Amino acid sequence: MNPAQLPTASVSELPDADLTLVDVREHDEWAAGHAPGAVHIPLGELPARLEELAELPDDQPLYIVCRTGGRSARATAWLNASGWEAVNVAGGMKSWRTEGRPVVAERPNAAPEIL
């Protein structure tokens, strides 16, 4: 898929409700800070964990996010080529945080941060 044709949305364009967000960052990045309710499937594990995506609501696209948008663009292109409806989140979790969207951490007693 041509990068210019890749379905992409900015954080400000994302729906506030019924958002299915898939975070493809690594485990340490996820633990440091992620969007509440997001599904975590690191990019390298995506092909082996497609059954988890099949359990998600299918009445809307999967919004794919990483740190700044590079890995999520690759995941979005691969998912769309594999028959999924996926949209890359431009700017990733860095933009998510900048836009004031909530972030939670998995690390005890640590403030959420985007790695």
User: How far apart, in whole angstroms, are the C-alpha atoms of residue 112 and residue 18?
Assistant: 23
At residue 108, the pLDDT reads: 83
- Is 23:39 a contact under the CB 8 Å cutoff? yes
User: How far apart, in whole angstroms, are the C-alpha atoms of residue 17 and residue 65?
Assistant: 17
| Residue 90 predicted with pLDDT over 70 | yes
**Of 68, 22, 19, the residue nearest 45 (C-alpha):** 22
Look at phi and psi of residue 90 and say left if phi exceeds 0, alpha if psi is from -120 to 50, else beta.
beta
Cite the active site residues. Answer: 66
Q: Which tokens in the block code for residue 79? A: 């998912």
Reported as a single tens digit per residue, the pLDDT across 32-85 is 999 999 999 999 999 999 999 999 988 889 999 999 999 999 999 999 999 999
Give 5 or 13, the one with higher predicted confidence: 13
Reported as a single tens digit per residue, the pLDDT across 12-33 is 999 877 899 999 999 999 999 9
At residue 110, the pLDDT reads: 83
| Residue 3 predicted with pLDDT over 80 | no
Distances (CA, A) of 36 to 7, 47, 77, 93, 103: 23, 23, 24, 12, 6
Query: Model pTM?
Result: 0.93
Compute the average pLDDT of residues 102-108: 90
In the chain, the domains with their CATH numbers are 3-98 (3.40.250.10)
